[in-house]
Amino acid sequence: MASDGNAAIDELQVLRTQFLSELKDCRDEKCIEAVRIKYLSKKGLLPGKFALLGKLSPEERPKLGQELNRLKTLFQTSLKEKLKQIEFQKARASKIDITLPGDRDYPGKKHPLLQVLDDIKKIFSEMGFSIEEGPEVESDYYNFEALNIPKDHPARDMHDTFYLPGGYLLRTHTSPVQIRVMEQQKPPIRMIAPGRCFRKDTPDASHSPFFYQVEGLAVDQNISFADLKGVIAVFARKMFGRDVNIRFRPSFFPFTEPSAEYDFTCVICGGKGCRTCKGTGWLEISGAGMVDPEVFKAVGYDPERYTGYAFGMGVERLAMLKYQIDDIRLFYENDLRFLEQF
């Protein structure tokens, strides 16, 4: 073993030459790893040379220490470069030109349902409606009883509810938000309640066990059914164009009286009649009506002083009409071929 600084540096030069020669002959990652272990592992040849520092005088140690560190850096850099070279050669062998630019990144977009929901919010906000939200896990009281649907009411069968322990359930509509807002605010009220709802529907082309709904409410003195018709008409024409017509048909809902279902001119055929509208020229949208006095009593409003209207609409239904989609399940399958179209 050398006992002076010059001899130790000579040993390092020999080690450097030996390392570079062996690395140059490597043709795969396994060989490169073997060279790394031989020269840089804890018991490798280069760490072993650090023992030479203890045999040198204090004046000679710094020079040898610098040379050892320089050599260590050289070994590490050479190993990385050799590994890149091997990878490049493999890529060329597999006929992949890694010098070509990569595939273009596709930035994320809003889901088509959320795009339509944004349109709905914008239209009603411009008409002076506030946007309110509420919990998706509701109590039986807010989801049914406060809306004039007692436990023995047959309308409960229409909702086919997901019940949870402790008397709770997954809300079947966003109408409970209307009750919560009326409990906390005094008229006048103009609001919409968008959000997810849940029912035990068997998935098919027009049904889903979870869906988005928007419900609206206006309460004040002297509100009439004509006000309701006007708001729905403005919404329809802003969403689907000026040529859309609206019609109301008598119906029944426990929380409105009188109640109606409303239809829009078929946006597929322009009202002429087609397969989508079953030849009628109309597409059913949802229900609406004047708020039942019993609902006002549940929230402490005086039904003799205040009147109001309420309406609902399914976001999936509107999105299917807007984009001429014939199967609701497409919204939830996360197929990029479908989603990239929006």
Hey, which bits of 255-331 come out as E strands?
Answer: 256-265, 282-291, 307-314
Give the model's pLDDT for residue 327: 87
Give the model's pLDDT for residue 2: 42
Last residue of a domain, one of 41, 61, 93: 93
Q: Is residue 260 part of a domain?
A: yes
Give the model's pLDDT for residue 314: 92
Query: Same domain, yes or no, for 11 and 79?
Result: yes
280-308, pLDDT tens digit by residue? 888 888 999 999 999 999 999 999 999 99
Q: Is residue 104 part of a domain?
A: no
CATH number, domain containing residue 245:
3.30.930.10
Q: Is residue 100 part of a domain?
A: no
Query: Same domain, yes or no, for 186 and 40?
Result: no
Give the model's pLDDT for residue 276: 72
Query: Same domain, yes or no, for 33 and 164?
Result: no
Query: Same domain, yes or no, for 276 and 211?
Result: yes
For the chain, residues with pLDDT lower than 50 are 1-2
DSSP string, 174-236: SHHHHHHHHHH-PSPEEEEEEEEEE--PPPSSS--SEEEEEEEEEEETT--HHHHHHHHHHHH
Answer whether 185's CB lies under 8 Å from 200's CB: no
65-101, pLDDT tens digit by residue? 888 888 889 989 999 998 998 888 877 776 666 677 8
* Domain range for 297: 112-339
Give the model's pLDDT for residue 96: 64
Say how many domains are in the chain: 2
Closest CA to 50 of 64, 36, 70, 39: 64
* pTM for this entry: 0.67
